[in-house]
Amino acid sequence: MSVRNISFAFLVICMSSLAFAQAPGRMGHMGMMATPTDQEIDHSVNILQKTLNLSSTQVNTIRDLARVRRDEMRTVRQEAAPKFQQLMSLLNQPNPDPAAVGRATIELKAVHDRGRTRQADIEKQFSSVLNPTQQQTVNRLRDEAGTFMALHRIGLIEPEFDNGMMSGRMNPPAYGSGHREY
């Protein structure tokens, strides 16, 4: 396998990880999830308040944490974008310099690692806001996410959307005029 193929595969993995680190929402630059608006954060926190029975202090803390995360991930993406473009430019050359490709890949990986570290820190802060029962609910939802995604991916369930946000309820796929076969 060539350096170009290895670097490209690594890059795809890095960028995919950053995309998965983003909150559910719209697709943005380079296929990554777009950062949520204040309105989307407020809507999501309201759903969490009902689902987890959050206190007003918890709601405010989580809302602030979500906004900090959004801003930090936006900064990570802005830092990663030129590094990604530089790497792609190197890889698109007829005979890419392996050393230059390696340096560009390492620089991009460093940005990716900072984003992952910050994401882990924010998740710890979020967990510390919750009581043990709320933490248990979040952990259960995290464990069930793979099952949900598998069912959604093969078209057996579709999330119900309320103003562009998942409401949390599942409906069978609608086979009306808006149905898209994947």
Examine the domain organization and report whether 31 and 121 are in the same domain. yes
Examine the domain organization and report whether 101 and 171 are in the same domain. no
For residue 62, with 0-12 CB atoms within 10 Å meaning exposed, 13-18 middle and 19 or more buried, which class applies? Answer: buried
Q: Are the C-beta atoms of residues 128 and 34 closer than 8 Å to each other?
A: no
pTM here is 0.67
Examine the domain organization and report whether 16 and 91 are in the same domain. yes
- Could you tell me the residue range of the domain that residue 155 belongs to? 131-182
pLDDT band at 166 (very low <50, low <70, confident <90, very high): low
Per-residue pLDDT of 89-100, as tens digits, reads 999 999 999 999
Examine the domain organization and report whether 109 and 142 are in the same domain. no
Per-residue pLDDT of 97-129, as tens digits, reads 999 999 999 999 999 999 999 999 999 999 999
Task: Kindly tell me if the per-residue pLDDT of 133 is higher than 70.
Answer: yes
pLDDT of residue 118: 95
Examine the domain organization and report whether 57 and 143 are in the same domain. no
pLDDT of residue 177: 37
Examine the domain organization and report whether 118 and 174 are in the same domain. no
Give the separation between CA 45 and CA 54, rounded to whole angstroms: 9
Q: Are the C-beta atoms of residues 111 and 79 closer than 8 Å to each other?
A: yes
pLDDT of residue 158: 86
Examine the domain organization and report whether 112 and 147 are in the same domain. no
Q: What residue type is 79 in one-letter code?
A: E
Q: What residue type is 95 in one-letter code?
A: N
Last residue of a domain, one of 110, 130, 150: 130
